A and B are shown apart, each in its own frame.
Chain A
């Protein structure tokens, strides 16, 4: 069983959903980012999503755009994201790691080589924002061959007729983009989620995580209860950014501030 499947099975036994915090790799620098990643499981992260910086993140709002910019300024390359995961895996064999990013850096690295190296580093799944099902054959053969889960995005605009098509060949979990919009802007209501999630359950047995617009402990708890997991990204990066100095550099205590917030979110998700 994959690490992702094992984790969701274990959580099901605990009768609770997953907290999936997001960090942008090397935001604002390598060491801070690594310290955050290492601290996440202890603070209550069930799975971790790592953002792969890209110059043109079309689905992201200003908060994650700024995070990507800081990371790129720190000099991060695709290989450095994989190295982060490899370093993390030396101490943690159970927490699933999902990479989220855009296609071009992966194409540039080489789709096959990327999947081979990501699997070897200990990555469990991939979310590629600008790779819809229609174009998935660019990556799917290689992610399959290397046992990486290819996690699909489902949006409010994905209608019932399209849903089965979108989920063809998906694995790991389904990522429900709960709003029409970019990251960190709007928030779906519990009522909207209660209508949307059963729609996906009808066509897929995979666990469902809700992302985009999950900010507060209450929202995370709702999302994790109605679906199977909550992804929190912009709210954590907001905290990180608020605890940097004037030049965007980390301060003593920056990491703790973010991890404290993860603890609060985890407590809410665990009820």
Chain B
């Protein structure tokens, strides 16, 4: 494994200001600044502490259920006629998505820091459920902020969080989606700085969150690399993942950044189509700015006001993206494309029928791109796609879009 990056490595970021190139940083109010610095100190200490790493490893193995399998999707491969398609099956994690990797890491950090209350934001509810789960496991009170629109379209996850003992606070400001939930979580944090740990769910927010969440998610790519070497004896030709904030993609991509033979492809949510303006593709349709503590590509108008994103998938419905992705976009190491709501819905159904796996609408976007990509590649080429979440939570929304009454 190439866990020790060399001098010319793309894996050494961020710098000591929390920047990946021009992106990232710590754009928060002074009230939060001392806390951010405290989280940074505590995280880097924990990272270098073998006892912390052993504890994390223990919990990932025996509670989260890692390693997740790498599955050769043979029927899908035959159906598409082209490259061999492998799924990294992070939907098999406890709680049903990759979010558990990060939540386990951060909850152990919060405990180490002596914090006694956890807050989180959530879009689709996957991160909220994972956070609520870890809080139940460790007996910590948990408050999850969720946009009111998302509370409606992700009702099963809302109920799960409540069963797990979390308080779910619907956020009505803005469009009532992930962006607004994050605003409200930061407002809570600023008011409860003494005892509260903010467990951010994606590779965004002020430094050290983008780096820390990436580190906790990199287990996806590390495992995938080992598993594909075992299965095929070589690295894949392409690794594909969907992107909202970008944590599952960053986790898959990071261990491959220095392997130049591996094409890395991030799939943003194209919503109704990029040209309609109704989408969540910050890299394809946005420009750099500052929101939620970091400088990154954002959907914004000519005057710097943030534009509401749109996606069928609540988990991708975010007008920003993790700063490391912005940098990887600018240096062209990762290709960023988009898939529309409609394409994701089709991919959702295809995956279900050919592989017997109901994917979440988020990775259905990644799959929508794999459907386009695989036939253009040779039969001996390999694609690894991160199947980062399962779709049980989405069946009601999908039924509605397909005109089926449940």
Contact = CB atoms under 8 A, between A and B. Distances in A.
Contacts of B305: 54-55, 72, 104-105
A108 B299 CA distance: 12
Nearest to B32: A157
A104 B291 contact: yes
Contacts of B186: 58
Interface string A98-139: 000011111111000000000000000000011111110000
A132 B26 contact: yes
B187 A177 contact: no
A134 B26 contact: yes
A184 to B, nearest CB: 11
Interface stretch (A148-156, A223-231, A245-253): A148-156
A222 interface: no
B191 A130 contact: no
Secondary structure call for the A interface: loop
B26 A108 contact: no
Nearest to B33: A132
Interface string A50-82: 000011111101000100000010000110000
B40 to A, nearest CB: 11
A128 to B, nearest CB: 9
B174 A55 contact: yes
B191 A182 contact: yes
A94 interface: no
A102 B183 CA distance: 13
Interface residues of B, number: 36
Given A58-B186, A105-B304, A65 B29 contact: no
Interface stretch (A3-11, A40-48, A158-166, A201-209): A158-166
A153 B34 CA distance: 13
Contacts of B28: 130, 132
Contacts of A181: 31, 190-191
B156 to A, nearest CB: 28
Contact of A59 (B29, B33, B288, B289): B29
Nearest to B186: A58
A185 interface: yes
A264 interface: no
A153 B33 CA distance: 11
A180 B192 CA distance: 7
B300 A108 contact: yes
Contacts of A77: 303
B173 interface: yes
Contact of A131 (B27, B192, B303): B27
A59 B173 CA distance: 14
Nearest to B17: A134
A104 B193 contact: no
Contacts of A105: 303-305
Contact of A132 (B27, B187, B289, B291): B27
Interface in B173-197: 173-174, 179, 183, 186-187, 190-194
A58 B183 contact: yes
Interface string B183-225: 1001100111110000000000000000000000000000000
Given A135-B25, A135-B27, A166-B30, A130 B293 contact: yes
30 contacts: A55-B174, A55-B306, A56-B291, A56-B306, A58-B187, A59-B29, A104-B304, A104-B305, A107-B304, A108-B300, A108-B302, A109-B303, A130-B27, A132-B33, A133-B33, A134-B17, A134-B33, A153-B29, A155-B29, A157-B30, A158-B34, A159-B34, A162-B33, A166-B33, A177-B29, A177-B31, A180-B193, A180-B194, A181-B190, A181-B191
Interface of B: 17, 25-35, 173-174, 179, 183, 186-187, 190-194, 288-293, 298, 300, 302-306
5 closest A-B pairs by beta carbon, nearest first, are: A108-B304, A105-B304, A181-B191, A155-B31, A153-B30
